[in-house]
Amino acid sequence: MLLQLSSEDFTPDQSGGRNGERPAFTMKDLPPAERPYERLWEKGADALSDAELLAIILRSGRSGESSIQMAQRLLYESPGSETGGNLRIIFTRSPQELAQIDGIGRVKAIQIAAVRELASRLASERLPDSFRALDPSAVADHYYSRVKGLQKEHVFGIWLDNRLRYLGDSLISVGTVNHSVFSIRDVFLEALRFKAVHFILLHNHPSGDPVPSENDLEATARIRQAAELIQIMLIDHIVIGDNRFYSFKEDGLL
């Protein structure tokens, strides 16, 4: 669907600030060559910087600060962004946390949260036919964008048929910041719901280190044993960290 721009997108906010302050900066206050709406329209989204794309989401700035300047402040002044802009930190904050940032407020926080959720849903769409379930690297690459930035351990099941074709995936459980919660019952309820013959377990480590814990090792062994009893095969368990992953299959544990 083509992006349709209306005059409202380029019209300053007439509400003004408190006590007679100057109205909030909008896109129209920027020089034409610096307006991200127009730059995206003419040159494409990939031509814009992180700050420009974020400014489009924010739509307006505030008194004394344009949307571009606000976006740059968010990118470079967020905790953990000392070495440069960090979109991940911004998009993993809850709406309530975002709303506490100076100049953001409830509406902008909701806009940012909505974009993050759309990106997450896009990442979780049906896998392409070229997806290789037996290639841990391909699985990890696909799911990395879905789990990066999560502050708690999330356990997912990836369900496959008898020819290792993708049937779907589902979130099995959410643990703590350093502990995953494996429920054998929940795993196999999901497997039966998808009529899976094979499956892959996948979870994240918020610490960034994908090496499995003792709990991960023990839970995986129990689930493998239970899977064999009902003739469903666990073919891998993948742990995703910070740009790294660990495969039980590749390490000879499955």
> Which CATH number does the domain housing residue 198 bear?
3.40.140.10
Residues of the chain falling short of pLDDT 70: 1-34, 77-86, 88, 120, 123-131, 177-179
Residue 156 burial (CB count, 10 A): 21
User: Can you tell me the distance from the alpha carbon of 105 to that of 67, in angstroms, rounded to the nearest whole number?
Assistant: 14
Residue 254 lies in a domain: no
Whether this prediction's pTM lies above 0.75 is answered by: no
Task: Give the residue from 105, 122, 139 where a domain finishes.
Answer: 122
Q: Are residues 75 and 145 in the same domain?
A: no
Q: Read off the tokens for 7.
A: 């005059």
The overall average pLDDT reported for the chain is: 80
Q: Is residue 253 part of a domain?
A: no
Distances (CA, A) of 36 to 39, 49, 58, 66, 124: 5, 9, 11, 12, 28
User: Would you state the pLDDT for residue 198?
Assistant: 95
Same domain, 54 and 155: no
The pLDDT value given to residue 9: 42
Domain ranges, residue 21: 7-122
Alpha-carbon dihedral angle through residues 234, 163, 135, 198, given to the nearest 10 degrees:
-10
Of 97, 122, 147, the position where a domain reaches its end is 122
Q: Which tokens belong to 198?
A: 């094979």
Q: Does residue 112 share a domain with residue 152?
A: no
User: Domain boundary at 122, 138, 163, which?
Assistant: 122
On whether the CB atoms of residues 189 and 157 are closer than 8 A, the answer is: no
CB 176 within 8 A of CB 153: yes
For residue 1, the model assigns a pLDDT of 35
Same domain assignment for residues 219 and 157: yes
88 with 112, same domain: the answer is yes
